[in-house]
Amino acid sequence: MGYAFGGEGNPSLGVPPGASVEYEAELNSFEKAKEPWEMDQEEKVEQGKTCKDKGTQFLKAEKYKLAVKQYKKIIDLLEFDAGLDDEKKAERHKVLLAGHLNLSMVYLKLKDNASALEHASKAVTMDSTNVKAYFRRGQAHLNIGDALVAQKDFQSCLDLEPSNKAAQQQLSVCVQQIKAHRQKEKQLYGGMFEKFAKQDMVKDKDEPKTITTEVLSDETTEVC
């Protein structure tokens, strides 16, 4: 339902200005998409590429939950690579890696840090030289308050790409958070130790001193 022709209407169709128009569509035929188990391995790779493209469109449109569905389909399709030749295995690896990387990014946007961490870690396992994988895993760790572990991931980014400014900035954030945390711990535990020391001093002052002497028997003082 909508104002399809605005203030002008459409005289040729008999639609007056500002009229509400209701459209009726008729589906003549459709073809049901194949289920993953109905596809051979090469078809799965091609379908994975299609899902990646659709997911990216949804991501750009900020339709994150729809993007997640498409990227998850990639994982379902390409988790195993049985029966592929070397060329197709390389394609499958590339698309599957993109699926994990993009899922980690979308989950970060959705504030689902646990899922972002999971998929970024899988991306690191697939490609230990992937800067994006380390960076997104570092972001997830930082978001859940684990700056010490996040620091290692951002440092890995810089080991691979020393000029990465985003990683440099995040590493600086980690260092600041770690310092603040340690300072807070120092104040907390320092105050506790001081309190306990004062309590011990008061206790020692209040308790009477007793002197005990011990008489050793001849048996215990014998030289063997």
Rounded CA gap, 73 and 52, in Å? 9
Rounded CA gap, 100 and 106, in Å? 10
Q: What local confidence, expressed as pLDDT, does residue 192 receive?
A: 61
Q: Note the Cα 74 to chain centre separation in Å.
A: 18
Note the pLDDT tens digit of each residue in 161-219. Answer: 999 999 999 999 999 999 998 888 877 776 565 665 566 665 656 555 554 444 444 43
Residue 38 one-letter amino acid:
E
Residue 170 one-letter amino acid:
Q
Rounded CA gap, 100 and 107, in Å? 10
Residue 100 makes CB contacts below 8 A (sequence gap 6+) with 75, 119, 120, 122, 123, 126, 133
Residue 158 one-letter amino acid:
L
Burial (CB count <10 Å: 0-12, 13-18, 19+), residue 224: exposed
Q: What local confidence, expressed as pLDDT, does residue 110 receive?
A: 98
Q: What local confidence, expressed as pLDDT, does residue 108 receive?
A: 98
The single-letter DSSP state of residue 153 is: H
Q: Is the pLDDT of residue 155 over 90?
A: yes
Rounded CA gap, 176 and 45, in Å? 44
Q: Find, among 51, 145, 154, 146, the residue nearest to 103 by Cα.
A: 51
Rounded CA gap, 130 and 156, in Å? 9
Q: Is the pLDDT of residue 221 over 60?
A: no
